[in-house]
Amino acid sequence: MNTTSRIHVQTLVEMNHCVGIARRDAAYNCLLAYVNGHLAKIDSDGDRLAAYRHCLNLVQETLNATERATKMNSQTIRGLWNRPVIHFLQMLVNLIQTMTSLVEHGQAVEQEASILVEHLDKSNFQLLKDACVQFVDNEFRAREVFLNTLQLGQEIVHNCSQKSIHAFSDEEHRRYHLAYEEYLRFYGNGQPKDEGI
């Protein structure tokens, strides 16, 4: 009875692999659409911070869906196909966290400037202000790396998905497309909010 139960559970898990891939693809495509349509146009610190947090949410959703899909097929080649995608998405998470930290630090120094000037002599306070300019420069460099990496990763995610989709049964194809459209609406309706990560 235990063996039958284990096999049944594993069968149900594998049946949901197509839904996991659909969720991953929808979140990633919404990330691409948002970045290509909005990120380059944002200037103010607050807007950039909200945009980065929105991007991070979409990348985390993409990563979580990929990790779940990998666990669903950890004993098969389907699970192995997802490993490069996971490494790529983890890199995107790190890049976004770097950009977010740089903006947050710049905001903190700006908001606390009147207090900091009391704790530092003029030369050190000027060094701090100069460092903040470098933080902004580094943020924009990190954003360029993020944008370039995101575009390169599009091929990694797409090829992984195509391999999985090619192996789907007719029923899995049907369920993939239904789930993809539903998740596309779900992630596409999300608006960036200036809230904690």
Q: Rounded to an integer, what distance in angstroms lies between the CA atom of residue 73 and that of residue 17?
A: 7
Given this model, what pLDDT does residue 27 score? 96
Concatenated DSSP letters for 34-82?
Answer: HHHHHGGG--SHHHHHHHHHHHHHHHHHHHHHHHHHHHHTTTSHHHHHT
Residues 6+ apart with CB under 8 A from 168: 18, 176
- 145 near 95, Cβ under 8 Å? yes
Compute CA distances 14 → 8, 113, 150, 161, whole Å: 10, 56, 29, 15
Given this model, what pLDDT does residue 73 score? 60
- 71 near 17, Cβ under 8 Å? no
In residues, how long is the chain?
197
* Sign of the CA dihedral with 116 first, then 121, 123, and 124 last: negative
CB atoms within 10 A of CB 65: 23
Name the residue among 92, 93, 98, 94 with its Cα closest to residue 149.
92
Name the residue among 90, 86, 58, 68 with its Cα closest to residue 187.
58
Across the chain, which has 197 residues, the per-10-residue mean pLDDT values are 43 66 95 88 82 95 89 62 88 95 82 66 73 83 92 89 90 94 90 42
Name the residue among 67, 69, 63, 62 with its Cα closest to residue 18.
69
Q: Rounded to an integer, what distance in angstroms lies between the CA atom of residue 152 and that of residue 47?
A: 25
